[in-house]
Amino acid sequence: MAPGEIIVTMDADCTYPGEEVPGLVKKLIEEDLSWITCDRLRRAEEGAMSGLHGFGNWVLSTTARFLYWYGVHDSQSGMWVFKKEVIGKVNLTSDGMPLSEEFKIEAFKRGLRAVEIPVPFHARVGEVKLNTWEDGIWNLWFLVTKMRDFR
């Protein structure tokens, strides 16, 4: 339903750097990319993520790299910049937490011109709505079951 040709997503909790969007859109256009995902882990501010969530992200991202052989460092990032046409080229089945990892898997496995760019990650404003163990296990299970799409 988005009217534009380029779509930007990010959580509304002030963790992602909205000021980076113009530069990311410029990179998408100038380098003729289809999709950019942002890595929040390499440039995270001190205290932006708990140790447990950091460990969970490492487990999920390492599992995704192992299963799908792609170079994404942060499989759970929700900050993306992409051309609207990408939606018709990927097979997205999740409407929950696994959507972040599924979008990355699909973009890279479908051969889209996609890159990961490190961006700053700030401490969250407001209440954390993540259910650490339930969401983490669900994302891990999704990574394993998504493999059937590529057999």
Largest CA distance in the chain: 42
Burial of 10: CB neighbours in 10 Å, binned 0-12, 13-18, 19+? buried
Burial of 32 (0-12, 13-18, 19+ CB in 10 A): exposed
CA 132, CA 52: separation in Å to the nearest integer? 8
Q: Which amino acid is at 137?
A: I
Sign of the dihedral through C-alpha 84, 26, 124, 140: positive
> How many helices (H) and strands (E) in the chain?
4, 4
The phi-psi region of residue 105 (left if phi > 0; otherwise alpha if psi is between -120 and 50; otherwise beta) is alpha
pLDDT for position 6? 97
pLDDT tens for the chain, residues 1 to 151: 888 999 999 988 889 999 999 999 999 999 999 999 999 988 888 888 888 888 998 999 999 999 998 889 999 999 999 999 999 999 999 988 899 999 999 998 889 999 999 999 988 887 777 778 888 899 999 999 998 887 6
pLDDT at 151: 66
